[in-house]
């Protein structure tokens, strides 16, 4: 995927920030494998990438990490983890306080892609939405779930970023 042109005419790549949401990785009890996988995917797709920033499974910390990146003006935030059904899985609840609005088709597309591999993909609460002019995508915490979900929608991410910067000619 070609990096989309910046609306402001600045020369340069689109910027992405990766957030890993995991109590275990935050406390150093387990290695963050998914964050680095997402960074590699995004660099390969032409993004300038910061992170992975590791935060625990707490709504306030998730909110702070994502909104700080949005305030910095990044085009895309990808968050991995906390989309399951466990008692500490609060990422979707946090996202609903972060998003100005959801883009439901992206979550649907990620789950549909996952369903080709495993019917358990229906249990993922992966989702995407917009805050200000930043697209935010929440994917599962496993390296496989994270990479498959992002790859499933990578082709449309560049287009979404262009729309967010004001090209509404086809909306």
Given the rule CB under 8 A, which residues bind its own copies? Answer: 81-89, 92-93, 101, 103-109, 111, 115, 119-125, 127, 130, 133, 135, 140-142, 145, 153, 155-156, 159-160, 163-164, 166-168, 170-171
Which one, 28 or 86, has the nearer CB to its own copies?
A: 86
Q: Which residue has the tokens 């560049």?
A: 158
CB of 40 to its own copies, least distance (A): 21
Phi, psi of 156 (to 5 degrees): -95, -10
Beta strand 15-21 pairing with 48-55: parallel
Q: For its own copies, which is the closer residue by CB, 11 or 94? A: 94
Token pair listed for 75: 């085009």
Q: Which is nearer to its own copies, 83 or 147 (CB)?
A: 83
| Closer residue to its own copies in complex, CB, 48/89 | 89
Whole-number minimum distance, CB 14 to its own copies, in Å?
Answer: 15
Instruction: Tell me if 98 sits within 8 A of 66, measured CB to CB.
Output: yes
Secondary-structure breakdown of the chain: helix, strand, coil percentages, each rounded to the nearest 5: 45, 20, 35
């Amino acid at each position: 995927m070609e990096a989309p042109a910046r609306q402001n005419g600045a020369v340069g790549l689109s910027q992405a920030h990766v957030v890993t949401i995991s109590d275990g990785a935050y406390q150093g009890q387990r290695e963050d494998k998914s964050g680095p996988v997402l960074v590699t995917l995004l660099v390969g797709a032409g993004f300038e990438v910061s992170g992975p920033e590791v935060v625990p499974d707490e709504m306030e910390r998730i909110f702070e990490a994502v909104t700080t990146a949005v305030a910095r003006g990044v085009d895309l935030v990808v968050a991995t983890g906390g989309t399951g059904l466990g008692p500490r899985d609060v990422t979707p609840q946090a996202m609903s306080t972060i998003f100005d609005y959801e883009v439901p088709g992206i979550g649907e597309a990620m789950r549909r892609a996952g369903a080709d591999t495993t019917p358990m993909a229906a249990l993922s609460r992966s989702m995407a939405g917009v805050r200000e002019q930043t697209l935010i995508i929440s994917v599962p915490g496993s390296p496989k779930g994270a990479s498959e979900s992002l790859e499933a929608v990578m082709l449309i991410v560049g287009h979404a970023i262009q729309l967010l910067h004001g090209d509404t000619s086809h909306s």
